[in-house]
Amino acid sequence: MNITINDLRASINGQEILKGVDLELNSGEVHALMGPNGSGKSTLSNVIVGHPAFEVTGGEVLVDGVDILEMEPHERARLGLFLAFQYPVEVPGVTVGRFLKRAVDIRAGEGEQKTKGFIKQLREMMDYMQIDQQFINRYLNEGFSGGEKKRMEILQMLMLKPSFAILDETDSGLDIDALQIVAKGVNRLREGDFGALVITHYQRILNHIRPDYVHIMYRGRVVTSGGGELVDSLEANGYDWIREQYGIEEENDVKPVANG
Amino acid sequence: MNSTHTAVFSGTHQIDRYIESLHEPQWMSTIRRRALQAFCAMVWPTTEDEEWRRSDISSYDFDSYGLAPAAVVQPPQIAGSVDGAERSGVIRFRNGQCSEASLDAGLARQGVVFGPLSVLLDDGVGNNSAQHAAAVDAVRRLLEQRSQSFENRILAWHYATWTHGVVLYVPRFVEVKVPFEVQFDNGADQALSAPQVIAVLEEGARATLLHSVTGDDEGEVLINEAIDVDVAAAAYFDLFTHYDLNVDSTTFSNGRADIGRDAGFHSFVSNFGGMFSKLRFDADLNETGGDIDLDGLYFASRDQHMDLRTVQSHNAFNANSRTFYKGAVKDESHAIYQGLIRVARNASQTDAYLTNNTLLLNNGARADSIPGLNINTDDVKCSHGSTTGKIDPLQLFYLQSRGLPSDVARIMLVQGFLEEVINRAPLQVRERLRELVEQRILAQYDVDDE
């Protein structure tokens, strides 16, 4: 899967957050997207999967050459796109097992036979993610701790096997054990035809998921891209370095409100 | 049933003749006549009455509903073994006639009485056992107490005219694990049905009753039901009540439970049916340590009107009550929930909660939620909460982002919303409720058809 983002602009409540994002992503690659809070990272991920609160004001997102911006969220999911949410919503009354069965059946396709051995596969993945089997009968995300929610996002990813996944700050708030489990989940899919955009504020997770490419986002744009060495520069110099290098002409902009 | 015997059912003289024709014990006739007297002195509830403010019955011509009185039927076989042990006993009525009655023989030997009310009252049946006498005595005491005053004319009308009924009597410390089942089924050939459910659980007894009021797909039926429950000290009773009548029919139901010392009671009311339904359940915590749950599920669609009321009355020290009603409204339907927590002056250390949540599935459907507190003492914990809202767009987006089309996601969210209360219904009925919910969500309603 190829994802090409050209001059993407988007706003929420009339305020422009994305101010012309250009990015190219492919299955088989792992990209890291870094940047200070408010730079538009979460907005970018939500716009790609079709969050209704954001308004696209310009540009395009092409998946294998086809613009997906007019598609419904479920149509984008069926192309093989997946977002691990930064803040997954709670869905009372809908059990993890029931929800995932339905989602996996739909992902398998209408005409094809229903997923065989679903429960066996689910149990195996839950073991792999060190999620208690009792969660199958829990209501989706309801009463989950922050770490349990993040692991549940990765479990969904493992079950749905997307071609390209975006992980929106999946690392934040996780202790080192949980972080390793989440990284394990991503690395498991990496063996196949799978790509990921790992959005993070810190380089910590990138020690466990080594990115092929690193992009820095600042004030609604991807301001620089490179290899793993960019992470080291950031680590050494902090985001002030970005601000000094790319922020001068933006000083008069209004401060973005969206988180990420 | 012969329609030429149809009598005008709300006329005083006709009711009096109806009572005459029944050949019931003197005490029952006295209760009926007392109710008839009250009936004559009262007027039908109007929208001036707070409880009826949103449910207007002024267009009903109650005189137009009739039935053949004094339908004396051969008593069915009561004692017999229940096959498969899925039910401890089953009683079904079709159009007021008992069509099936069974009771586990072992339970009968332990003194459990479960049968048509008319059979219990008929001296001619020849059951002179001590248990039978105890059951009759308990029913008599309960109904005499109920007929001291009547909440409204509909209830007085019921006690004057009840057409058929069932009695469940569980003696002291008899614990019945497998549920009993009662069904009142109605067809178009009978216009009015005034069924009575009586359940008496003596000290330390335990039982579950699954009760349903159903009808044919077509034909107008008027139900005027009363449910009277007495749960004695340390007893526990689980009562599931289900209403699913067609959209031409009307249901009035008034339930009342007296809860004894350290006794437990769980009521689950499920309402899917009827053009118009007005259901009320009162639970009176009359002794210390009573503990009750009043749960409710409702799904209103098409142009149905549903009005549900619960009253949790605390009349004694240190009792607990929780009410949890959840429903969905669809198409052009209207659901009203009125809940009251009443705490008497002597009922300190009361712990009472009331929650009502309604989901609006589309514009045009309406829901009113009216929780109330009437607290007359200090040192209580009481609270209520109610929400009325639409499907959360963020939940919808979340499910869609996993590949579920919006209609599939929507159904899943409505089911999930109601699942929280369905999960509290007796195990045996949950799947049926889930199926009904799914059917009603999927049903297409064309406004122009009506």
pLDDT in tens, B409-447: 999 999 999 999 999 999 999 999 999 999 999 998 876
pLDDT value at residue B15: 83
Tokens, residue A255: 């401060």
pLDDT tens sequence across A135-146? 999 999 999 999
Query: Do A91 and B403 count as a contact with CB atoms less than 8 A apart?
Result: no
- The two three-digit tokens of residue A167, written as one number: 């992980």
Q: State the average pLDDT over residues B378-395.
A: 95
pLDDT of residue B160: 93
Nearest residue in B to A108, CA atom: B403
B400, B402, B408: which to substitute to probe chain A, counting the most A Cβ within 10 Å? Answer: B402
Q: Is B51 helix (H, G, I), strand (E, B) or coil?
A: helix
| Closest Cβ–Cβ partner in A73, A78, A94 for B397 | A73
Q: What's the ipTM?
A: 0.93
Q: Looking at residues B78-101, what average pLDDT do you find?
A: 79
Q: How far is B269 from chain A (nearest CA, A)?
A: 19
Three state DSSP letters for chain A: CEEEEEEEEEEECCEEEEEEEEEEEECCCEEEEECCCCCCHHHHHHHHHCCCCCEEEEEEEEECCEECCCCCHHHHHHHCEEEECCCCCCEEEEEHHHHHHHHHHHHHCCCCCCCCCHHHHHHHHHHHCCCCHHHHHCEECCCCCHHHHHHHHHHHHHHHCCCEEEEECCCCCCCHHHHHHHHHHHHHHHCCCCEEEEEECCCHHHHCCCCCEEEEEECCEEEEEECCHHHHHHHHHCCHHHHHHHCHHHCCCCCCCCCC
pTM for the predicted model, two decimal places:
0.89
Burial B336-351 (b: 16+ CB within 10 A, else e): bbbbbbbbbeebeebe
Per-domain residue ranges for chain A? 2-88+162-245
Is A35 in CB contact (< 8 Å) with chain B? no
Domain covering A2-88+162-245, topology: Rossmann fold (3.40.50)
Other CB atoms within 10 Å distance of the CB of residue B57: 16
| Residue A207 to residue A205: CA distance in whole angstroms | 5
Token pair for A236: 């050494």
High-pLDDT (> 90) share of chain B, %: 78
The residue type found at B348 is S
Would you state the pLDDT for residue B85?
A: 61
Rounded to the nearest integer, the mean pLDDT of chain A is 89
* Alpha-carbon span B174 to B206, nearest angstrom: 7
Contact yes or no for B405 and A50 at CB 8 A: no
Query: Is the pLDDT assigned to residue B91 strictly greater than 50?
Result: yes
The answer, for A88 touching chain B at a CB cutoff of 8 Å, is yes
DSSP structural state of residue B425: S
Proportion of chain B in helix, strand, coil states, percent, rounded to 5: 25, 40, 35
pLDDT tens digits, residue range A77-121?
A: 999 999 999 999 999 999 999 999 999 999 987 555 566 789 999
pLDDT of residue B308: 98
